[in-house]
Amino acid sequence: MGRAPWGVDVTGRDRAISLHQRHMLITGLSDNGKTAAMRALALWVARDPGADLWIADLKGPAGWAMFDGIADRLVIGPTDEHVIAATEMLEDAVVEMQRRFQVGGSHRPLFVVVDEAQVAYMCPAKDPAKRPFGGQSNDARYLGAVRKIHNQGRAVDVTLWEATQDPTNQNLPVLSREGNHVRASLVVGTEAQAKMALGEAAVAGGAAPQELRRGLDKGALVVAGSGLEMEPWEVAVTVRTHYIDDATATQIAKRALIARQKAQQASTPTADPVDDLAAILAALRGEERVRTTAVLARLVADRPDRYRPWTAATLTAVLTAAGAPPRKRSTMKVSRTDLLAAIVARDAHQTGAMAGGPIRG
Ligand SMILES: Nc1ncnc2c1ncn2[C@@H]1O[C@H](COP(=O)(O)OP(=O)(O)OP(=O)(O)O)[C@@H](O)[C@H]1O
Ligand SMILES: [Mg+2]
């Protein structure tokens, strides 16, 4: 996927960033270009059919809608329900990481993106077992998943990007912010916030996003950490990001979606579709709705030879081709009702085709 062009530095030189196995944090005051800066990189990823995106935008509704169809997981909205869905998305990424560790080998890069992550860290909701989604207690679910991805994702190509506004110790826990390899900040209010955004060392070395001018320097990003090529004496680089407006982003996304659909058609397994749908049905174990991650795990348990190489994307592709796509937007779940209908429709079609006419009765 190479280096993503991100902007120009103060000398006018083009600056690009390597997205390979780097967790990333983008901070900054509201309305200065966080979403634009992160979305430009996500569009770069979208253009590569060999990479996957899972996206949660905890503000919504604008900004990320054009990734519908591109992102296998897309959560858009500000409520506790959306935070819960975003947390489950991260936890599913952790399950996917564990699967990758088990099967070994190389993997499609998976980029997990959370815009407005402060909404998750500040979420007061608790699950039925009384575990909080937000906060930073030992049992906090969102932070717990973030830390697992930070600690172990890199080796199996699962990468997390978070964007958050107006950082504080509450809405951006130190355990989270220090887990990033790339830290980029638009204008922030104070030097203390700059340290939260970029780390003590970068600010001590002269990085000063608090000195950017609010509003006037929209899109100007101080980037620290790895990823951008820097001179030996640089601890941070100020980049004015190339601005991709909504209309242009939508156009790029449309083209990316077409390229992805073509690539998917070429790679969707065609052999033995009867067995796959039946195997998926068996993996539901009679339950009405089962998370795709659980279905995958059961498929592997049932027939490791055939299903070990499958990813969530394979399962989604097979179900979509059969007319029973998993439900998107919150947790991805396979529906027994949809699947049965798809099998009935397929069998009717096959019988009809074989008999050379419509079926009766
Ligand atoms: N690189 C840029 N160059 C010029 N203008 C920009 C750039 N990036 C963003 N802007 C302007 O800033 C506005 C806000 O950008 P964006 O929505 O990305 O900010 P944000 O920090 O995500 O805001 P919020 O906190 O409200 O989500 C854009 O609508 C655009 O007008
Ligand atoms: Mg935004």
Whether 263 is in a domain gets the answer no
Whether 345 is in a domain gets the answer yes
Mean pLDDT of 60-88: 95
Measured from the Cα of 31, ligand 1's closest atom is: 23
Distance CA 340, CA 128 (A): 31
Q: Could you tell me the pLDDT band of residue 329, with boundaries at 50, 70 and 90?
A: low
Q: Is 287 touching ligand 1 by the criterion CB < 6 Å?
A: no
Q: Which two tokens stand for residue 333?
A: 């779940």
Residue 164 shares a structural domain with residue 215? yes
Please tell me the least confidently modeled range out of 92-106, 110-124, 145-159, 238-252: 92-106
Measured from the Cα of 116, ligand 1's closest atom is: 27
Q: Which two tokens stand for residue 156?
A: 């199996």
> What's the confidence (pLDDT) of residue 360?
35
Mean pLDDT of 161-175: 95
Count of the separate structural domains present in the chain = 2
Please tell me the least confidently modeled range out of 75-79, 321-325, 330-334: 330-334
| pLDDT above 90 (res 12) | yes
Which domain-ending residue is among 251, 280, 312? 251
Q: Could you tell me the pLDDT band of residue 113, with boundaries at 50, 70 and 90?
A: very high
Whether 262 is in a domain gets the answer no
Residue 240 shares a structural domain with residue 272? no
> What's the confidence (pLDDT) of residue 269?
67
Mean pLDDT of 204-232: 91
Ligand 1 pocket mutation, candidates 55, 243, 246, criterion most atoms within 8 A of CB: 243
Distance 3 CA to ligand 2 centre (A): 23
Whether 25 is in a domain gets the answer yes
Residue 141 shares a structural domain with residue 230? yes
Phi-psi region of 150 (alpha: psi -120 to 50; beta: other; left: phi over 0): alpha
Mean pLDDT of 3-28: 95
Residue 188 shares a structural domain with residue 321? no
Measured from the Cα of 242, ligand 1's closest atom is: 1
Q: Is 39 touching ligand 1 by the criterion CB < 6 Å?
A: no
> What's the confidence (pLDDT) of residue 266?
82
Centre a 10 Å sphere on the Cβ of residue 56 and count the other Cβ atoms it contains. Answer: 29
Q: Is 34 touching ligand 1 by the criterion CB < 6 Å?
A: yes
Whether 147 is in a domain gets the answer yes
| pLDDT above 50 (res 354) | no
Q: Is 27 touching ligand 1 by the criterion CB < 6 Å?
A: no
Q: Is 171 touching ligand 1 by the criterion CB < 6 Å?
A: no
Q: Mention every residue, 6+ apart, whose C-beta is less than 8 A from residue 333.
A: 289, 290, 291, 292, 326, 327
Measured from the Cα of 241, ligand 1's closest atom is: 1
| pLDDT above 60 (res 109) | yes
Residue 181 shares a structural domain with residue 61? yes
Which ligand number lies closest to the CA of residue 39? Answer: 1
CATH number at residue 296: 1.10.238
CA-derived radius of gyration, the chain? 22
Strands (E), the chain: 3-9, 14-18, 24-28, 52-57, 73-76, 110-115, 158-165, 182-185, 220-225, 236-241, 289-291, 333-335
> What's the confidence (pLDDT) of residue 205?
92
CATH number at residue 61: 3.40.50.300
Residue 29 shares a structural domain with residue 104? yes
Residue-range definition of the domain harbouring residue 344:
268-355
Please tell me the least confidently modeled range out of 158-162, 295-299, 337-341: 337-341
> What's the confidence (pLDDT) of residue 94?
97
Distance 147 CA to ligand 2 centre (A): 23
Instruction: Report the chain's mean pLDDT, rounded to a whole number.
Output: 91
Residue 100 shares a structural domain with residue 202? yes
Whether 16 is in a domain gets the answer yes
Name the residue with higher pLDDT: 60 or 159.
159
Which domain-ending residue is among 207, 223, 251? 251
Given a contact cutoff of 8 angstroms between Cβ atoms, the answer to whether 120 and 165 are in contact is: no
Distance CA 285, CA 288 (A): 9
Residue 135 shares a structural domain with residue 232? yes
